[in-house]
Structures are given as structure tokens and as C-alpha cells.
Amino acid sequence: MSFRITYAPPADDTLAKMRNAEQFRDAMVRTVGRDPYGHGSAAVRGERDRREATVLGAIVLYYVSRSVLTVTVVRLIAGL
């Protein structure tokens, strides 16, 4: 089962500035998209569906919606 990945406007703005944006999107699909609770991610503030992970050197803060199989990236911190 895989999850659809969406980007909230602040994360999408950061993604648009990244040199390796396409590689990053592919890595998100392969890792977080396949297992949003794995890939070394951690719950934020004790909330199981609010997660943080590192993907291709970028810190990714995201929410998991199991009911609609969607991961929403809300914040992305990258070296650009």
C-alpha cells in the first residue's frame, strides 16, 4: 500500500527552490510514501500521525492521514 504525497504551500515553495527537487520527490515516494511511520521517522509531540523524518538530507515535517492514504508535507528544511 502506498500513500499519496502532497505539499502544503510553505513546503512546496521550498521544494521549488531545491536543486534536486525531482530526486527528492522520487525519494519521498520510495520511502515515506511506502511507509510513513518508518524510514527513521519519529512522532512529533507524541502525536502518532504528526511525523518528522530526514529524506535526502532534508528535514521533513508531515502529517499522515490513514483514512485517505495521504501524507501532507507541511514543512521542509533543505540546504537548497
- The pLDDT of 40-53, averaged and rounded, is 97
Residue spans per domain, the chain:
4-77
User: Is 4-77 a CATH 3.30.2310.20 domain?
Assistant: yes
Say if pTM beats, i.e. exceeds, 0.85. Answer: yes
CB 63 within 8 A of CB 71: yes
Q: What is the rounded CA–CA span in Å between residue 19 and residue 77?
A: 13
Strand order in the sheet with 4-7: 4-7, 70-77, 58-65, 47-55, 42-44
Where do we find the cell 525531482? 22
- The pLDDT of 69-78, averaged and rounded, is 96
- pLDDT tops 70 at residue 80: no
pLDDT tens per residue across span 10-35: 999 999 999 999 999 999 999 999 99
